[in-house]
């Protein structure tokens, strides 16, 4: 049997569709060019009328301003003088015609474009900068086998760098780079070399965002504006369970917060960390070098947590960074010694187990959770690895080992753990701290490997050395990496603190309920009488399952 040929529509349908698509694109481009030409022609024809109209509007505004500034006793003579001038012009031969011509001339003079004419292209210094940047990219974007290379020594840089913008200082603010298709833009090392070269040639000391378009073989480099460092600690407009870690770029988040800066108010995009029972990242880990602002972030978190919960603070640095919180309402303990730190963390683990048992029994009885289990409990640890070394030398239990219960079951018990540590002690952190702190913050200078190991992903911006205190990156779970600037929350007892920032922190502190002389080293309450002895959390999980 002879094979029947395929229908014509099946064999030629794709070609006809491609031709119709190309024809539609051509007609669209032609129509757009025609509309642009008509708009330019209309603007050229109506330019004198637009200029005269603008001048009349400016003359009218100037007349109204003069009339408003004139005293009331002089307005009568001004009206009489204006009426006299109009009468004389009306009686003089050809007076109205000459008045109209004079008015049009004055309006044309007032309506002219007073701004300096913008150059059509870059000036000599900008051209030299773009040419040197093009020459620096030649070794990376050229190949000897390329028959029509886009990058050659002494070639045309206009084709490779079609779009560019310069800031007020003459440095590149935005740049579009086209590269050949054979460049290995899928390799991280190759992309890192190009990004380092472009950011170095464009100007040091700034952060850049590099957007790679692998499909179009284009790279867009944008210089980012520095994040505001003058935002002091204050009451943020947030819901219970929301904590503001800092502020970021407006393109990174879809929310802004109204802030007060002196006598002005402005909206700034925040990085909001959500905690509680429904949180997917219930615990936080902060990494940084000394002086990078890790203690500042913990103070900011503590002041926000005290609005709706209780706080236990364990400080391993023994520098008194949290002495302002001692004896305050809602602060259960501020510990700087080994014995107090172990007792505080052990109490937090016991309290977590007690809450789990109470919540479990209430659910089995069909009742809501008890009121004492709803109030959030925050455990803040600054440099806990210091106590780990001291505990090993003294034969005591490691406080990090006691954190396993609050870290694993803290979300169900409304217990949140925040750990701040330095880079040199990162290896000393326990596995429980690393596994259960899925919200991460890195402050201060850090290498690309450190950022990748701490955040789980590299940031989409270049790293700048010499950043101010409180400057870094934040990542909540598997979300994107955000640039971060922590609000200024210094120690109010520090002499180097400015008066404005000191007063801002003092206004946020709760009332002191215990005098400093009578304050015990730890104000941790035991479980109420009549409650059963706490059981391990694993048994509670097995009972609920």
Q: Do the annotations mark residue 252 as ligand-binding?
A: no
Q: Do the annotations mark residue 477 as ligand-binding?
A: no
Helix or strand or coil: residue 353?
helix
Q: Do the annotations mark residue 216 as ligand-binding?
A: no
Per DSSP, 460 falls in state S
C-alpha to C-alpha distance for 299 and 293, rounded to whole angstroms: 10
Q: Do the annotations mark residue 290 as ligand-binding?
A: yes
Q: Which H or E run includes 208?
A: strand 207-213
If one counts every other C-beta atom within 10 angstroms of the C-beta of residue 154, the result is: 9
Q: Which H or E run includes 392?
A: helix 385-394
How far does the chain reach from its first CA to its final CA, in angstroms? 69
Q: What is the DSSP string of 76-90?
A: HHHHHHHHHHHHHHH
Residue 274's Cβ-side half-sphere holds a number of Cα atoms within 13 Å equal to 6
Distance of alpha carbon 176 from its chain centroid, rounded?
Answer: 23
Instruction: Locate the DSSP E strands across 250-402.
Output: 257-261, 264-268, 270-274, 284-288, 310-315, 331-335, 377-382
For the chain, give the number of residues: 545
Backbone angles phi, psi at 64, to 5 degrees: -65, -35
Dihedral sign (CA 303, 307, 308, 313): positive
Helix or strand or coil: residue 218?
strand
Strands 172-178 and 218-224: antiparallel
Q: Do the annotations mark residue 288 as ligand-binding?
A: yes
Residue 270's Cβ-side half-sphere holds a number of Cα atoms within 13 Å equal to 20
C-alpha Rg value of the chain to the nearest Å: 34
388 vs 315, 316, 341, 394, CA distance in Å? 12, 10, 10, 10
Specify whether the CB–CB gap between 207 and 462 falls below 8 A.
yes
Specify whether the CB–CB gap between 256 and 270 falls below 8 A.
yes
Q: Do the annotations mark residue 289 as ligand-binding?
A: yes
Q: Do the annotations mark residue 291 as ligand-binding?
A: yes
Q: Do the annotations mark residue 292 as ligand-binding?
A: yes
Q: Which are the contacts of 197, defined by CB distance < 8 A and separation ≥ 6?
A: 136, 137, 140
Specify whether the CB–CB gap between 269 and 256 falls below 8 A.
yes
C-alpha to C-alpha distance for 356 and 542, rounded to whole angstroms: 12
C-alpha to C-alpha distance for 415 and 534, rounded to whole angstroms: 16
C-alpha to C-alpha distance for 10 and 523, rounded to whole angstroms: 82
> Locate tokens 């000391």: which residue?
205
Beta bridge partners, 232, equal: 488
Helix or strand or coil: residue 310?
strand
Instruction: Write out the binding residues.
Output: 288-295
Instruction: Write out the binding residues for ATP.
Output: 288-295
């Amino acid at each position: 049997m002879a094979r029947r040929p395929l229908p014509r529509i099946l064999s030629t349908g794709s070609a006809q569709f491609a031709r119709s698509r190309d024809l539609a694109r051509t007609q669209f481009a032609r129509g757009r060019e025609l509309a642009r030409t008509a708009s330019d022609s209309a603007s050229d024809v109506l330019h004198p009328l637009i200029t005269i109209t603008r001048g009349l509007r400016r003359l009218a505004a100037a007349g109204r301003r003069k009339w408003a500034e004139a005293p009331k006793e002089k307005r009568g003579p001004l009206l009489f003088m204006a009426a006299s001038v109009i009468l004389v012009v009306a009686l003089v031969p050809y007076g109205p015609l000459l008045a109209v011509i004079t008015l049009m001339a004055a309006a044309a003079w007032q309506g002219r474009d007073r701004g300096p004419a913008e150059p059509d292209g870059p000036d000599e210094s900008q051209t030299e900068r773009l040419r040197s940047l093009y020459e620096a990219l030649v070794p990376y974007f050229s190949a000897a086998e390329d028959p029509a290379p886009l990058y050659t020594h002494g070639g045309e840089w206009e084709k490779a760098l079609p779009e560019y913008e310069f800031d007020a200082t003459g440095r590149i603010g935005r740049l579009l780079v086209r590269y050949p298709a054979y460049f290995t833009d899928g390799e991280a090392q190759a992309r890192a070399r190009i990004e380092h070269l472009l950011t170095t040639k464009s100007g040091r000391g700034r952060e850049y965002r590099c957007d790679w378009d692998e499909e179009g073989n284009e790279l867009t480099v944008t210089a980012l504006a520095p994040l505001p460092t003058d935002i002091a600690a204050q009451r943020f407009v947030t819901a219970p369970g929301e904590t503001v870690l800092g502020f970021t770029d407006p393109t990174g988040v879809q929310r802004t917060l109204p802030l007060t800066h002196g006598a002005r108010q402005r909206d700034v995009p925040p990085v909001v960390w959500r905690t509680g029972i429904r949180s997917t990242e219930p615990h936080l880990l902060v990494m940084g070098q000394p002086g990078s602002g890790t203690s500042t972030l913990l103070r900011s978190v503590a002041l926000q947590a005290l609005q709706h919960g209780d706080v236990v603070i364990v400080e391993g640095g023994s520098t008194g960074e949290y002495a302002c919180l001692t004896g305050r309402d809602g602060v259960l303990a501020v510990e700087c010694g080994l014995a107090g730190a172990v007792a505080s963390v052990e109490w937090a683990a016991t309290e977590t187990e007690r809450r789990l048992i109470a919540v479990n029994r209430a659910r089995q009885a069909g009742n809501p959770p008890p009121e004492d289990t709803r109030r959030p409990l925050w455990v803040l640890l600054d440099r806990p690895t210091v106590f780990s070394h001291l505990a090993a030398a003294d034969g005591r239990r490691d406080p990090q080992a006691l954190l396993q219960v609050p870290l694993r079951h803290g979300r169900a018990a409304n217990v949140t753990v925040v750990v701040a540590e330095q880079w040199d002690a990162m290896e000393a952190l326990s596995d429980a701290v690393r596994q259960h702190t899925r919200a991460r913050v890195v402050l201060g200078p850090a290498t690309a490997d450190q950022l990748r190991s701490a955040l789980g992903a590299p940031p989409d911006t270049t790293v700048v050395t010499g950043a101010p205190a409180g400057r870094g990156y934040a990542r909540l779970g598997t979300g994107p990496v955000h640039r971060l600037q922590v609000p200024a929350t210094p120690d109010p007892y520090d002499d180097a603190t400015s008066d404005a920032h000191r007063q801002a922190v003092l206004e946020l502190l709760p009332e002191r309920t215990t005098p400093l002389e009578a304050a015990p080293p730890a104000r941790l309450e035991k479980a109420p009488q009549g409650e059963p002895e706490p059981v391990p959390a694993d048994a509670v999980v097995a009972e609920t399952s």
